[in-house]
């Protein structure tokens, strides 16, 4: 498996510094948080996008994905959501990224069945655009659809090869699923896996990998036992928890922890 980290852990850090951290600590890729407060977002010009792609290529680091905030199950008109997704897909294509991330965002203003149908309709439409660009749309296990079982209700309705799943191991665990259950549900659709660690269900402040209670060893074990050979991406949510320890000093030990888990499960 290949290892990446998300720029959510180093909010606003210049791309040159992000790539320096990746290469210094042996990460193969970076997940880019696509938000206007970050260096990389859909508002970049074609020349700026080309410069970002060239920086990654020169550093020998891959752009794993573009993590957007489109909420595909949210109530309201389809077109603003579809336009947001198209913008993310264009950015990913220009950067050479294989994936974009979207959220469910179903909320409580509609029934689960209505939310599923809304998300499936939008994802099915966006999938045709994604297919023309060679980029995949990944629905993260999050908010209204935090378990693998929740996410696959939508993905089964879509039934398109360009639409898959991003497994956030914290949310499936908080939703009551064991790693084996999450993998069984998500494996037909799995793009990549977000790993992290927290102190408890009540305190989700990010911790160094291995310092909390999330079943990371079990996640890596189930992936290894099934021969899955994709990406593990460390999403350290520093952006939302200012009191959390800075990520740069944790990147080396975090990579070593993941390497030990991979070695133990081999």
CATH topology of domain 2-265: TIM Barrel (3.20.20)
The confidence score (pLDDT) of residue 109 equals: 85
The confidence score (pLDDT) of residue 108 equals: 85
- Report the 3 state secondary structure along the chain: CEEEEEHHHCCCCCHHHHHHHHHHCCCCEEEEECCCCCCCCCCCCHHHHHHHHHHHHHHCCEEEEEEEEEECCCCCCHHHHHHHHHHHHHHHHHHCCCEEEEECCCCCCCCHHHHHHHHHHHHHHHHHHHHHHCCEEEEECECCECCHHHHHHHHHHHCCCCEEEEEEHHHHHHCCCCHHHHHHHHHHHEEEEEECCECCCCCCCECCCCCCCCCHHHHHHHHHHCCCCCEEEECCCHHHCCCCCCCHHHHHHHHHHHHHHHHHHC
The rounded distance, in Å, linking the Cα atoms of 101 and 118 is 17
The rounded distance, in Å, linking the Cα atoms of 99 and 225 is 25
The confidence score (pLDDT) of residue 249 equals: 97
The confidence score (pLDDT) of residue 56 equals: 98
Per-residue model confidence as pLDDT tens for the chain (266 residues)? 999 999 999 999 999 999 999 999 999 999 999 999 999 999 999 999 999 999 999 999 999 999 999 999 999 999 999 999 999 999 999 999 999 999 999 988 899 999 999 999 999 999 999 999 999 999 999 999 999 999 999 999 999 999 999 999 999 999 999 999 999 999 999 999 999 999 999 999 999 999 999 999 999 999 999 999 999 999 999 999 989 999 999 999 999 999 999 999 87
pTM for the structure as a whole: 0.97
Contact present, 161 and 138 (Cβ < 8 Å): no
- As given in the structure block, the two tokens for residue 52 are 């970002």
The rounded distance, in Å, linking the Cα atoms of 97 and 110 is 33
Q: How many residues does the chain have?
A: 266
Domain map of the chain by residue range? Answer: 2-265
The confidence score (pLDDT) of residue 7 equals: 97
């Amino acid at each position: 498996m290949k290892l990446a980290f998300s720029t959510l852990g180093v909010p606003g850090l210049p791309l040159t510094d992000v790539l320096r951290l990746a290469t210094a600590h042996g990460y193969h890729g970076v997940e880019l948080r696509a938000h206007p407060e970050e260096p990389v977002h859909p508002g970049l010009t074609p020349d700026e996008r080309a410069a970002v792609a060239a920086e990654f290529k020169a550093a020998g680091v891959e752009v794993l994905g573009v993590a957007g905030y489109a909420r595909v199950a949210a109530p309201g008109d389809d077109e603003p959501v579809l336009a947001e997704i198209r913008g993310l897909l264009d950015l990913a294509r220009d950067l050479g990224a294989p994936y974009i991330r979207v959220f469910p965002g179903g909320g409580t203003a509609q029934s689960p069945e209505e939310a599923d149908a809304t998300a499936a309709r939008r994802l099915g439409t966006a999938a045709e655009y994604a297919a023309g660009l060679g980029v995949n749309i990944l629905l993260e296990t999050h908010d209204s659809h935090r378990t693998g079982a929740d996410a696959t209700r939508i993905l089964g309705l879509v039934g398109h090869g360009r639409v898959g799943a991003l497994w956030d191991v914290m949310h499936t665990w908080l939703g009551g699923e064991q790693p084996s259950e999450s993998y069984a549900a998500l494996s037909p659709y799995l793009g990549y896996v977000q790993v992290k660690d927290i102190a408890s269900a009540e305190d989700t402040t990010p911790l160094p990998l291995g310092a909390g209670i999330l079943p990371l060893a079990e996640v890596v074990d189930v992936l290894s036992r099934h021969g899955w050979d994709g990406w593990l991406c460390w999403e350290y949510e520093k952006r939302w928890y200012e009191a959390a320890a800075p990520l740069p000093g944790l990147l080396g030990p975090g990579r070593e922890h993941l390497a030990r888990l991979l070695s133990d499960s081999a």
